[in-house]
Structure 1
Amino acid sequence: MDQVVDHEFEALLTYLKEARGFDFTGYKRSSLSRRVDRRMAQISVAGYGDYLDHLQVHPEEFTTLFNTILINVTSFFRDPEAWEFLRSDVLLPLIAAKPDGSPIRVWSAGCASGQEAYTLAMMLGEMLGPEQFRERVKIYATDVDEEQLGEARHATYGAREVESVPAGLLERYFEQVGDRYVFRKDMRRSIIFGRNDLVQDAPISRVDLLTCRNTLMYFNAETQARILGRFHFALADGGALFLGKAEMLLSHGNLFLPTDLKRRIFRKVTARPMVTSGPRYADQPSAPTAEALVGLDRLRNAALIAGPAAQIVVTADGLVALSNQQAEALFGVSPRDVGRPFRDLDVSYQPVELRRYIEQAQVERRAVDVPEVEWRRPASETRYLDIQVSPLVDGDAGLLGVSLVFHDISAAKQLRADLERANRELESAYEELQSTNEELETTNEELQSTVEELETTNEELQSTNEELETMNEELQSTNDELQSINEQLHHSSAELDGANAFLDAILSGLRAGIAVVDPDLRVRVWNRQAEELWGLRAAETVDQHLLNLDIGLPVDHVRPLIRRSLGGETDVEEIQLQAVNRRGRSITARVGCSPLRDAAGVPTGCIIVMEAMPAAGTAPV
């Protein structure tokens, strides 16, 4: 079943590749995502998008993440039975078959902290002796983890780490310094540690033995096949490949045959016939050597390599045969990619899917043009390419391969766009000029009309000015009248203020609490004795409904008296009610009502008299 693609996770892997050069896209997604999830949980980050942001802000996080992904588990003489078989059935026959004094090259891929490389050194040292070992043996130990390589270069290990080294070998090859064991320096010089990414870096070449134990299992099937192709190139004819217990190679019989399947030791199959141009890696040029070229051949090769347009040549079976300098600058296609399947290169699908155009050119035996392809590269300006896919045939019309030529038309497209924009701006300016001319003509006519209107307006203004003078005289007369009225109002206001003060003095002089309500039972007057009796100030009662006031008097029992007074009755009898005064004491309140009439004798409100009855033997409150 196909795995569901997590786009945020894929974006994280792409960022790791572009930012730090670690290409994990070939790793198995299940194991890779588990290790990334473990690191995210340690720093409490929930999603892959958030973790990518965290990496951008905290670059020191890369080291911890890579250590989490690249779990390095190794030891001296791990799986002793397999190492013994390697010694007796692989290395001894290999050394015997080599001429005296000839070099022995070994590659320990994925060496982690170096135990496997030093195990190989001890084994070969026992077979050849220290002197022959120093003269003949080179062990190349590589890994992608710089921190682990640093530990390996120091060649020092603790007592627990050397427990699996036989006592005799420990004594001969290690020097104890304090509580650490240091590998002997004279043989250490024959072991070369370096960083190498199995997915994208060129392999070590012409090696007799290649050990890569329990490393391939972290990659998916397609990436494993690519790495094994590089291993096949790296090994000399008859060379041996030593893998870990978890790795089988059952589906790669065209590259390796098992020497001992149980112990995971394989022999290189003799190289298949290949096209003349591939595969090539670090120590093999991407084009024929200068010695093999004469005359026009040398000139044609130099012209292709230095050509102004990027060019890639693909063989009939889909392998990269040749690329020039412009292709390397534009797409990163380097000599180490020669011999790789074209479909494995990013350029095969970015910026456009090229494989279908290659197939079309091969089938139809004609050139296929792909015009104006837009290519947006991260942290770079957008480019536009015209791509020409041309079949390469021999004299008998047999298909040799396909040539891909990429013409950068970004400058021309930009000039064309600038020209089109300039034409549009010119047309727009011409239209604006015509419009402006018409507007000026219209404006001229409007100005003539405006002059005539201004003359008419001037006459109207003169007439209006005369009218305004007349109105000004009338307003002055009106102003005098208003001044007189204002003085009268001021006098009336003073009289009203005096009346109000006189009324307040009368109400304040009464011993009883007085409240005056309108026909809607809203309080209009609330004297000081009412404040003293019930604890509510006039500001809290005036304009409030009497029945809504929270006082100690049960006002519902007063409502019938008020209604009768508002109806015009003058002999409304007083009532006595149990109440609570402002001090919270129970009192007997005497309440009486009388109508408030206007000049015509119509009731306009009600006067409520409230008085606390004195207790026996006390004066009235």
Structure 2
Amino acid sequence: MTRSSRGADNPFAVVGVGASAGGVEALQAFFSPMPPEPGMAFIVVTHLGQGYESALPQILSRSTKLPIVPARHGEAIEPNRVYVLVSDSVPTLRRGKLNLRQSANRHEYNPIDVFLASLAEDRGEYSVAVILSGTGHDGTLGARAIKEKGGLTIAQQTDQTAPRYPDMPDNAMASGAIDLKLPVQDMAGKLVEYVQGLGTLAVSARGDGRSQRDRIANACQAICDILRDELGHNFAGYKERTFLRRIERRMQVLELRDIEDYVERLRQDRPEVVQLFHDLLIGVTAFFRDKDAFEALAERVIPHLFEDKGTSDAVRVWVPGSATGEEAYSIAMLLLEQMAELKARPKVVVFATDIDDPAIGVARAARYPAAMLKDISPQRLERFFTGDGVSYTLSKDVRDLCIFSSHSVIRDPPFSRVDLISCRNLLIYLDKELQQRLVPVFHYALRPGGYLFLGTSESLTQHAELFAPLDRKNRVFQRRDHPGVPLGLPLLIPHWRHGLLELRPVVRNQPGLPLRLVAEGRVIEQFAPAHVVVTRDGDIVHFSTRTGKYLENAPGVPTRNLVAMARRGLRLDLRTALGEAFEGRRTIRRNGVHVELDDRHQVVDIVVEPLPDNHQELLFLVVFCDVGAPLGHEQMLPASIAEHAASTEQLESELREWRERVQSVVEEYETALEELKSTNEELLSINEELQSTNEELETSREEAQSVNEELNTVNSDLQRKVEELDRANDNLRNLFEGTEIGLVFLDKELVIRSFTPAIKTIFNLIDLDRCPLLTDIVSELADLNLRNEIEPVLANGKSRERRVVRRDG
């Protein structure tokens, strides 16, 4: 009975080895130190060209004592054997048996991802992923799937013994899915050690020895206490077997034998506490992870995003920490389902951001192994995916909604005017200080009434005043539009603007100041017109005295914007003057502006003038000059009627002119917009074609590189055999020339192929005679018919001896 048929009581580890360009050399170094009975099975998956039959089994058989066999469909996996993919089929593992599926288009698959994902589903914690030399990101998703199931992941170290093509191991490491980074020649020893200790901790916890069980239980409780004290998360209710497996894996990575040693390590090494915490929370970006939470989002949030929105409006969603895209695409599918019920559809954009560029590359490809889509309903799978049961690609409708970009939610400015932020299981990776900084950022980024969607282990206890809970259980919150204490974003002010925000002391009459400065300051303070200094945005950076006559605080949140603070009657002319001054960088005047002062009116002249460019930011001086004394309502009425009559015609003329200009601009804008839309669609189409072509060329290059490496290895073997044949031929030649026995070698047609020098005394041969018939050569033997002697030997294969004499006796 083979070990593969012993059932789940005595399982063995299965190692999936992924390699591409540069993989032959790495695979030879990987298997060379492997012992004959390592206690695990190996399945090697590489990138192969269509129709190419790999010679890798013959090549690897010279580097290891392990049996190397080609992978065959339906074959049961046994330990201590190496199975090598030799054709361009797509391999998977199901119930301990290999399944090989021929691919109609090999460019649609990442065979390493597909196999590792199926390995994770089939073997669980007894699965191991090894990522060796290669280009691209194949293997990243598969390694994450194995880590989620509690298996071990190893990547070829990219320093010292660097792989020839480091992209595949580098991308897998950048995604956070790799447990060990090792030189390829050190992997065999580590794997053997790992397999020998696999499952021992969980077995001890369930064993018969009470003291051993109690010791492990106490250690687990101590680990839970450390996680709670250091990170504020309680894992007391975590599944015992999974919890022990995560601990056991970290112990094996750190080469620790005793769980109490690991507890002591946690007490002294906070980064290890964080690493264990990450391991306990892996797998948080699967499609529709936490089904109940996504159902709550679809029912209570998604429909409200489209309320009162038409084709000219937009629905904006932000998914920070999007990793490989599963969460962003899940929300995009919910949005498309809601849009299908609408007659007028607004523009929908899902901004998916992450700091992990390789993960963003995986997300943009939108290609996932079937084993990673188990949480997607058959209806959604059919509607939003295309595939054949092995690998699936998201439809263009879903991909078009999502924009993936590199962005740090901590370092970079946030998106704005967002309707929904889905930040699931990102805050738990940050300390409390960063969490307190990010929640106000999310509040700022959302529109009034916007929604925040968090993970099940996250909460907003620190900033409850900013968000109202919509569904506490599923962590759905709604933005409070009027928080009790207004919170702003941390200001990142360029050094050259610091002077604008400094508090400057008022100049006073102090002893020692020159009389002229004192007098001029007094004149400016008492007799100069009121004025302010503003930026291009209209924000006031300096007030003079007596500005209260023209400005007042606006209701609501305090502001320093000049137009918002302007009194009634002043705002329209002030806004127009500022706009013209900002655009033309010239002095603008507005005369005869009426400002309402409670029960009186003041006629004011406004001057907006750019200040000399002493700063990198242009500033403007706004001066208010009174024209006469304030007038009451009775005094203002006759003057207002005459003034209004005179200006009405001018205003109507200006209005007609502006309407014509606006109409012309609108027509030009619409024409340009149509052209831009057409151009954008063409560019999108061209970009998709180029991206598809680039992927095919990249895959073909990898396949050609792998084939070339195999051919180089085979060529080296053939060259070595040719050298061996040359040496053997030289030895035979020396033997022929040194022997005194006459020998002649014939083929079936009695044609001479070779002979020794001694035969020349019997047959009249010279060194050039290699092809004539022996029967045509004159011999010194009497009464001998060679044909009659040789033909019976050729017929029955039996040797024949006969004594002969020379003609000369």
> What TM-score range do you get, normalising by the shorter chain?
0.3 to 0.5
* TM-score (structure 2 length as normaliser): 0.28
Larger relative contact order (Cα-Cα within 8 Å, sequence gap ≥ 6)? 2
Bigger Rg over Cα: 1
* TM-score (structure 1 length as normaliser): 0.35
